[in-house]
């Protein structure tokens, strides 16, 4: 039976919708009283695992799921050993550098050497500033990253931006985009090559509804 890792959070509803379009129904995950973490499609052709978005590539990489849906931002940060098969064209956002509105810095390269940047995207942030040959200290934060500059702990943040409303409400302004992100279809490389559980057929069906 095909096993699919679906992400909790903002990508879940659209992910379920994509699979419904190809005949697999995991909509029970959206029911308010549902506490199940694993659901078998009514046709018994596939099952889905509901996991934390950051864990989707882990389940796929270790073969507990043959397919998964995850944001490109997570793939760039974690660099898992998975096959990236398609851009699903939803969940659009961008990874950006942001600073307080009153800050004198308006480009990443303007930040002071050895300044502090708060982010949960530690590796992406490091890669960005290394390309600029600008040494900075990356402070790992996994909650409200915006509090870094607000409290004076950091000069800037590197975080996902969708509408920009959260930045605006916290007195921050976006100064540079590292890359754009969206939901991606990923697969376990070996499962994809051997086409277990007719994996290629399901992938082509998903590509057809993008």
Read off the pLDDT of residues 181-208 as tens digits, 9 standing for 90 and up.
999 999 999 998 888 778 999 999 999 9
Q: Where are the domains of the chain?
A: 2-91+182-208, 93-181
Rounded Cα–Cα distance for residues 165 and 72 (Å):
21
Confirm whether 2-91+182-208 and 93-181 share one CATH topology: yes
Determine if residue 145 is left, alpha or beta; phi over 0 gives left, psi from -120 to 50 gives alpha, anything else beta: alpha
In this predicted structure, what is the pLDDT of residue 85?
Answer: 96
Rounded Cα–Cα distance for residues 109 and 93 (Å):
23
* 117-131 average pLDDT score: 98
Read off the pLDDT of residues 69-108 as tens digits, 9 standing for 90 and up.
999 999 999 999 999 999 999 999 999 999 999 999 999 9
In this predicted structure, what is the pLDDT of residue 171?
Answer: 96
* Right CATH for 93-181 from 3.40.190.10, 3.40.30.10, 3.30.1540.20, 3.40.50.10860: 3.40.190.10
In this predicted structure, what is the pLDDT of residue 210?
Answer: 87
Q: Which two tokens stand for residue 210?
A: 């993008």
* Local structure of 101: helix, strand or coil: coil
**% of residues, the chain, pLDDT over 70:** 100
The CATH H-level (homologous superfamily) assignment of domain 2-91+182-208 is Periplasmic binding protein-like II (3.40.190.10)
Rounded Cα–Cα distance for residues 13 and 27 (Å):
8
Structure pTM? Answer: 0.94
* 28-57 average pLDDT score: 95
Q: Say which residues have a Cβ less than 8 Å from residue 186's Cβ, sequence separation at least 6.
A: 56, 57, 60, 67, 68, 69, 70, 75, 80, 82, 83, 84, 85
Q: Say which residues have a Cβ less than 8 Å from residue 148's Cβ, sequence separation at least 6.
A: 116, 117, 118, 139, 141, 154, 156, 157
């Amino acid at each position: 039976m095909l096993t699919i890792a679906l992400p909790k959070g903002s990508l879940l509803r659209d992910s379920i919708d994509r699979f419904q379009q190809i005949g697999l129904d995991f909509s029970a995950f959206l029911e308010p009283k549902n506490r199940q973490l694993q659901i078998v499609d009514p046709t018994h052709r596939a099952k889905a695992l509901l996991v934390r978005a950051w864990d989707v590539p882990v389940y796929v990489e270790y073969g507990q799921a043959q397919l998964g849906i995850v944001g490109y931002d997570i793939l760039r940060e974690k660099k898992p050993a998975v096959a990236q098969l398609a851009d699903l064209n939803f969940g659009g956002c961008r990874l950006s550098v942001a600073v307080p509105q009153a800050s004198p810095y308006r480009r990443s390269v303007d930040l002071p050497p050895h300044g502090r940047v708060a982010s949960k995207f530690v590796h992406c942030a490091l890669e960005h500033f290394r390309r600029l040959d600008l040494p900075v200290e990356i402070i790992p934060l996994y909650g409200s990253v915006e509090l870094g500059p607000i409290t004076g702990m950091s000069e800037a943040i590197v975080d996902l931006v969708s509408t920009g409303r959260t930045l605006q409400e916290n007195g921050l302004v976006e100064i540079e985009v590292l890359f754009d992100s969206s939901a991606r279809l990923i697969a376990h490389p070996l499962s994809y090559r051997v086409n277990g559980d007719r994996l290629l057929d399901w992938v082509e069906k998903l590509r057809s509804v993008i």
